Amino acid sequence: MHKIFLFLLTILLVNLLQANEGKVCQKCHPIIYSEYYESSHRNASIYNNPIHKAMWDKHPKDEKGYTCAKCHSPSDLESLQTGKLTKNKTQVEEAISCIYCHTIKDVEEGDSSNTNISSNKKREFFTAQKGKKGKAEYKTVSSWFGLVKESSSSPYHKIDYDNENYYSGNVCMGCHSHTNNEHSFDISMLDAVISEKDENTCVTCHMPQVLGTKVTINKTKTHAYHGIAGIYHKREMMGKHIDFKVSNSDNGFNVKVVNKSNHALFGQAFRQGILKVKIIRGSKTIELKPFIFERVLAKDGQEVMPWDANQALKDTLIYAKRDISFDTSIEQGDRLVLTLGVQRISKDGAKKLGIEDNKELTKFRVLKTEKLSF
């Protein structure tokens, strides 16, 4: 009876896969799927991401068509192969699907951008788990004379634990390394570097372990967060990788913002990081001029759209660190409040793209707040 049930379950999952890849995963990974559904990955297409849509609407069109599919909707094979862009179920529901990410075999480095190489294996997926190696197939283990049965792995797919890209975070570098325009100019400037010396990787920072079982068939205490921690979700987790160091100067004080991640912060076109600083002196609050972290793209000394840029008119991004000076003195008894946050897009950028009415896009999102007493 048990074998018949598994056979019928497998047939059901195969049929579901043909209709909607992600819904198959939801059956056994409901918590992970619910996180994924709200993630920037699921919402990467122009039909779910208003900034990307506004950018593409203004982008010059040619015979290549929609060239952003490579990273923004790689699960839509027709769009990926032909450049045609239509509002279909894949674009709306799983532009970057679970199966797409878990079948990335390797990353091929390129001058303009990298490319993900898929294994193309059906129902065999890569993942990472410390202490596990090899390929796992479904099996049940009986105990107490067959009265208790425990399952391991999946009745639907094989699991490959041997792909080092999933341990190092290199699996993310197909889309999150660099994006050069036709002038060989990097318009995203993540400047990400994968090193064996890194204490953290893309995965440990943006997919940290959180409470909840990763699968229903074999309960676990935690799972890798699939909502993608960052400016959209779990921003406080990103704040753990940022430090503030304050020191006095002749004219006031300095704030050193230390970036402990392996990439630059706020490098995407029109994105803006903001450091808000205020001094609480008794009953008085002194708000200082915020410091803006941004990269303004230009051509011939004039600000332009990303695809036309060949230089940075301004670059105040946080790479390893950024020192900021304030000309207000700190007095004994003062309390200093530092708040680092980010806007998905600057107000000026939103205006340039014609989406300034969407206030959600320019909302200040706090990454880290620290209070210091003197």
Amino acid at 198: D
Amino acid 5: pLDDT: 41
Pick the CATH number of 241-373 from 3.15.10, 3.40.50, 3.30.420, 2.60.40: 2.60.40
Q: pLDDT band at residue 1, thresholds of 50, 70 and 90?
A: very low
User: For 231-242, what is each residue's pLDDT tens digit?
Assistant: 999 999 999 999
pLDDT over 50 at 11, yes or no = no
d(CA 268, CA 183): 17
For the chain, how many residues are written?
374
Amino acid 297: pLDDT: 96
Which of 89-93, 157-161, 332-336, 359-363 shows the lowest per-residue confidence on average (mean pLDDT)?
A: 157-161
Q: pLDDT band at residue 16, thresholds of 50, 70 and 90?
A: very low
Q: Are 309 and 364 in contact (CB under 8 A)?
A: no
Give residue limits of the domains in the chain.
2-224, 241-373
SS3 assignment, position 191: coil
Percent of the chain with pLDDT over 90: 78
Amino acid 145: pLDDT: 54
By C-alpha distance, which of 12, 42, 38 is closest to 27? 12
Amino acid 268: pLDDT: 93
pLDDT, mean over the chain? 89
Q: pLDDT band at residue 285, thresholds of 50, 70 and 90?
A: very high
d(CA 212, CA 366): 26
SS3 assignment, position 96: coil
User: For 242-257, what is each residue's pLDDT tens digit?
Assistant: 999 999 998 999 999 9
- Cα Rg of the chain, angstroms: 24
Q: Are 163 and 101 in contact (CB under 8 A)?
A: no
Read off the pLDDT of each residue in 176-198 and give the average, rounded to a whole number: 86
User: For 66-75, what is each residue's pLDDT tens digit?
Assistant: 999 999 999 9
Q: pLDDT band at residue 373, thresholds of 50, 70 and 90?
A: very high
Question: Which structure tokens are listed for 351?
Answer: 């205006």
Residue 360: how many other CB atoms lie within 10 Å: 8
Chain centroid to CA 161: 22
Q: pLDDT band at residue 19, thresholds of 50, 70 and 90?
A: very low
SS3 assignment, position 165: helix
Amino acid 220: pLDDT: 93
More confidently predicted of 293 and 133: 293
Angle between helices 21-28 and 2-19 (to 10 degrees): 140
User: What residues does 20 pair with on adjacent strands?
Assistant: none
Percent of the chain with pLDDT over 70: 90
Amino acid 132: pLDDT: 85
Amino acid 156: pLDDT: 81
Amino acid 192: pLDDT: 75
More confidently predicted of 15 and 300: 300
User: What residues does 180 pair with on adjacent strands?
Assistant: 186
Amino acid 140: pLDDT: 53
User: For 105-160, what is each residue's pLDDT tens digit?
Assistant: 999 999 999 999 999 888 899 999 888 887 776 555 555 555 555 556 677 889 99
Distances, alpha carbon 273 to alpha carbons 39, 276, 295, in Å: 21, 10, 10
Amino acid 14: pLDDT: 41
User: For 21-41, what is each residue's pLDDT tens digit?
Assistant: 678 899 999 999 999 999 999
More confidently predicted of 273 and 145: 273
